[in-house]
Chains A and B, each alone.
Chain A
Amino acid sequence: MSLLSQVLTILLNGLQQGAIYVLLAVGLSIILGTLKFVNFAHGALYLLGAYLGLFITTEIQLTNGMLPEWGITTFGIGLGFLAALVVVPIVTFFVGLAMERFVAQPFYDRPDTDQILVTFGLAVIFQEALRALIGGDSQSLPQPGWASGPIALPIIGNFPRWRLGVIVITAVLVLFVYALVEYTDFGLIVRAGTMDSEMVRLLGIRLDRPYLVVFGIGAALAGVAGVVGGPLANVNPNIGTEQLVPAFLTVVIGGVGKIEGAVLAGLLLGTLQVVLIQTGFAAWNRVGIYVLAALILLVRPQGLLGSEVSVE
């Protein structure tokens, strides 16, 4: 294997490893950057997405109606996974709206420690409610049929198709959110609100609805992350709390509110993990990302792409 192909393989694997962090972090980041709301329940939304995805891909059988007439009797793996990819973000979007309205809004004026506390409590409730409903066992969410097996890539050679799928899905979603925030009127209002919400309100623009939508989008991204990340590891009630910490790190390393920052940081953390695993330091791969995070934050407390002004 040539050096080039080795490097590319590591990068691609890092991209895949970091993709889940990125999906979670972009949502967290826009909520934190725009609404100034700390959502410790973001991992719970990931958990919800994973379980919902598991439910849709494996459970739903169709016995009557139009779809069976067309020959679709079950949303088995394959098609069910596509269905999950569509349904889960919609459901989590509305969960996000509800959270903004009933949890975040009453806490905008309270200290951020209170925000952390209430969302942390909410995360515990989500996690334990799911555990009570479904049980604490680890379950596996199978890879969709259309994306299993390897794919031959130029230079790199064979690469697991699903891992490439994860990268593609992440890229599409993140580009969509980026375009939404950077190039639409909605994004303009949101960005203006981030900089000076009081001024935006004085201009006669109501920020309530954009804020609601931002929270919804963030929640939907966490839900998708759950579906996409499901097949990569087992699904159990603890995965939400496990993913929350690296996701927060990605946000803070990248710079709060910066989508590019979240992507860069996710890629960095993912690549570091892959490099450590492949060079024989597998035991250090988890420690590594925290050390890297601590080092970056000590040198640049505002994050890699964060601006000095937005500190605190």
Chain B
Amino acid sequence: MSDEPGDAATAAEVSEEPGFGDRLAALQDSELAVVGIAAVGVLVFPLVFNNLLNGYTQLATLVLVWGIFALGFDILLGYTGLLSFGHALFWGGAAYAAGIFSASVSGQPVLVILFGTLVAVLMAWIVGFLSLRRGGIYFAILTLTFGQMAFYLSSSPLAFLTNGENGFTSVSIAPLFGVLDLHGSLGGPLGMLPGNTLYLFVGAVTVLSIALANRILKSPYGIVFKAIRENESRAEFVGLDVWRYKLMAFVISALFAGISGSLFTIEGNYVPLSSLYWTTSGEVVIMTVLGGVGSLFGPLFGAAVYLYIEFIVSGMDVVGPFWHLILGLVFVIVVVLFPDGIWGGITAIRDYVGGDR
């Protein structure tokens, strides 16, 4: 928020009359504006999604849940340049932790999320510490290894905790702050708002997550992530402890995976074993890349597109059975031709309209 006047001044210096694109860019730099846009987006999303696109509120909720996961993943892949294939561990791990916590300690949603996230962060600290010894493909394979280890652990040796193949079913979520039943409908004036209680709760967490991600990425700390992505050895030469920053990027991305995983448990009241399988890691990779790496809102778009194809297109007559194939094709096309993803495309159009380029 503080740097808004400064940016406006720079824009004014470049051209007397700031263009539409400039003003939009300046707006994006303001923290309050980002949070505001996110909040409005979250509120408007189900209206557009349900009415124009044949969606439904439960799916809109799921989009936000996965969107948080992808948002965190992008901090690692898009901003720091590290590709992890083991994030299912933190997402599914948090989902299980949240479920077990709700069943045996407390079903208070806020505590459930805090506990799930804490578990994800602790696991990420260990896994990141061990995996970051190597870069590039070795990092991808090591994270994959730890993820699969957790999957097979949960499937049988730890089945007494996780309920093995059947998934964890005894989730019990209490009303929020003891009054608001998350799975009930809204009463009173709140009934005017789109979506149900659960959607609004998840939406509030989403806005907080976006604010947090924005704060981290715009801070000097987050800018180091980009420096590492651009040129790791140069970052090392200017005296930055690259390894520490990479580990923190890994832990931070797992933090979001943890929030998302816990929300997933609250949303569905169930944790499937497949939440730990490496294809779940693949899904978040696809979402993030589809939406656009290295942008704040891109991954959320990616999650929306992915889940829309998974749940809506898959129900269509002709193309339905091929939804995964379609997704694979779109993904490959994006990787080959549009490295900036869908969000990159949108920004390109915005810049074009704004007359910046």
List chain A positions with a Cβ less than 8 A from chain B: 32, 38, 106, 111-114, 116-118, 120-122, 124-125, 127-129, 131-132, 241, 245, 248-249, 252, 283-284, 286-287, 290-291, 293-294, 297-298, 301, 311-312
Contact = CB atoms under 8 A, between A and B. Distances in A.
Contacts of A249: 141, 145
A312 B328 contact: no
Given A125-B325, A291-B149, A298-B133, 20 more contacts: A38-B140, A112-B136, A113-B140, A116-B85, A118-B332, A121-B286, A121-B335, A124-B286, A124-B324, A124-B325, A124-B328, A128-B324, A129-B325, A132-B325, A248-B144, A286-B148, A287-B149, A290-B145, A290-B146, A290-B148
12 contacts: A111-B81, A111-B136, A113-B140, A114-B335, A116-B85, A121-B286, A245-B145, A252-B141, A284-B156, A287-B157, A291-B149, A297-B145
Interface of B: 77, 81-83, 85, 130, 133-138, 140-142, 144-146, 148-149, 152-153, 155-157, 278-279, 282, 285-286, 289, 321-322, 324-325, 327-329, 331-332, 335-336, 339
Most buried by A among B82, B145, B149, B282: B145
Contacts of A106: 336
A260 to B, nearest CB: 20
Contact of A286 (B133, B134, B144, B152): B152
Contacts of A114: 335, 339
A294 B138 contact: no
Q: Say whether chain B's binding surface is mostly helix, strand, loop, or mixed.
A: helix
Nearest to A297: B142
A245 B332 contact: no
Given A122-B332, A290-B152, A301-B138, A117 B145 contact: no
Given A116-B140, A117-B285, A252-B141, A298 B329 contact: no
Contacts of A284: 156-157
Contact of A245 (B138, B148, B328): B148
A237 to B, nearest CB: 10
A263 to B, nearest CB: 19
Contacts of A120: 282, 285
A132 B83 CA distance: 29
Contacts of B155: 286
A291 B155 CA distance: 15
